[in-house]
Amino acid sequence: MKIGTIASHSALNIISGAKAEGFDTLLYCPQNRVKFYQSFGLDDSIVEIESFDDILKMDLSEVVLIPHGSFVAHIGAQKILKSDLKIFGSKELLKWESNRDLKTKLLKEAGFAVPREFLDFGEIDCPVIAKTNGAAGGDGYFIAESASEIEKMMNPDLQYTFQEFVVGTKVFVTYFQSMAKERTEVFGADIRYETDADSNLRFNERPSFVVVGNVPLVLRESILAKYYDMGVAFVNAFHKLAQQKMVGPFCIETIIDKNKQIYSFEFSGRIVAGTNVWIPSSPYSYVQFGEPMWMGRRIAIEIRELVEQERLDQALG
């Protein structure tokens, strides 16, 4: 059995972790990125492809694929859900992640405060962030103070969701849900750095939210304790609503306001690029394991332990 992924997003994290645990690895790589990945010494992993969705046509019965942000962005949730690819983690959770109604339902079931959402213009009574549906990485988002302002700023060809704009600090916390060890691990925290919302150099007071990278964040320990509880609550809520066990990395995306109220506006049911800041280790994963532990390696260890327990099947969507 081999571990594979597509060459983007958190591929360096995933492939280096699988190699560190002794797995054979496969990195499905479009031609224009081959040199880049070769420069990290990954020649023996690279499989050249024309486009990312070529993997839907290949025989990957011996490969456990680790899904990341590019799977949904470049291939599409529906195609992945219908495929018989062996995806580590829950395909069901990917489904909940890619549907706004299901997503909100799960966040609420977990007991989290979520920003109000407006389906109808007439209901808007506070500043909002307008999110283009389906797009990823904050493309096309804007903020507006009122319904009439939104009408002026909207692109009529796009569909939007309007959410109460929460003023505060972005905090993205990543977790690992271990089936083999039956525990929830808080893995690390980061801030998604967005242009130009996070830039002080601007003339325009209406920022855009296009993600360019991530910066590491170490939380106040009292706040971290709250996030641990949130992670456990999230896992339990998924279990209850989807009647399935969760396994693998996930992320809860939040904003903390000045009253220390935590609002959750999103989650990801897979590895997020924010974990890239924690190679070779986050403070929390180091304390937990007593040695460098990054998300790619953590995933590989889980796969090996589940193979040893003869229940890897339960962890493949």
Smallest separation, CB 180 to ligand AMP (Å) = 27
Q: Please, what sign has the CA dihedral across residues 163, 167, 170, 171? A: negative
What single string gives the DSSP state of each residue in 246-261? Answer: --EEEEEEEEE-TT--
Instruction: Rank residues 29 and 293 by Cβ distance to ligand AMP and give the closer one.
Output: 29
Smallest separation, CB 157 to ligand AMP (Å) = 19
Bridge-partner residues for 25, per DSSP?
3
Kind and range of the H or E run holding 123: none
Instruction: Rank residues 271 and 312 by Cβ distance to ligand AMP and give the closer one.
Output: 271
Whole-angstrom Cα distance, residue 211 to residue 269?
19
Q: How many residues bind ligand AMP (CB under 6 A)?
A: 29
- Selected binder of ligand AMP within 88, 142, 176, 209 (CB under 6 A): 209
Structure tokens at 79: 């195609």
Sites for ligand AMP among residues 60-119 (CB under 6 A): 69-70, 73, 115
Q: Are strands 248-256 and 262-268 parallel, antiparallel or unpaired?
A: antiparallel
Smallest separation, CB 62 to ligand AMP (Å) = 25
Structure tokens at 72: 């949904």
Smallest separation, CB 122 to ligand AMP (Å) = 20
Instruction: Rank residues 43 and 139 by Cβ distance to ligand AMP and give the closer one.
Output: 139
DSSP 8-state secondary structure symbol assigned to residue 314: G
Q: Are strands 25-30 and 46-49 parallel, antiparallel or unpaired?
A: parallel
Smallest separation, CB 278 to ligand AMP (Å) = 13
Whole-angstrom Cα distance, residue 197 to residue 201?
10
Q: Are 238 and 106 in contact (CB under 8 A)?
A: yes
Whole-angstrom Cα distance, residue 77 to residue 98?
7
* Beta-carbon contacts of residue 134 (< 8 Å; ≥ 6 apart): 159
String marking each residue 15-54 x if it binds ligand AMP according to CB under 6 A: ----------------------------------------
Q: Verify binding: residue 265, ligand AMP, rule CB under 6 A.
A: yes
Question: Which residue is it, tokens 């959750």?
Answer: 264
Question: Which residue is it, tokens 């704009």?
Answer: 165
Smallest separation, CB 112 to ligand AMP (Å) = 13
String marking each residue 124-143 x if it binds ligand AMP according to CB under 6 A: -----x-x----xxx--x--
**Residue span binding ligand AMP (CB under 6 A) among the ranges 149-157, 159-167, 225-233, 290-298:** 159-167
Smallest separation, CB 225 to ligand AMP (Å) = 23
Structure tokens at 272: 């997020």
Q: Verify binding: residue 9, ligand AMP, rule CB under 6 A.
A: yes
User: Which residues contact ligand AMP by CB under 6 A?
Assistant: 8-9, 69-70, 73, 115, 129, 131, 136-138, 141, 163-166, 170, 192, 194, 197, 209, 211, 213-214, 253, 255, 265-266, 273
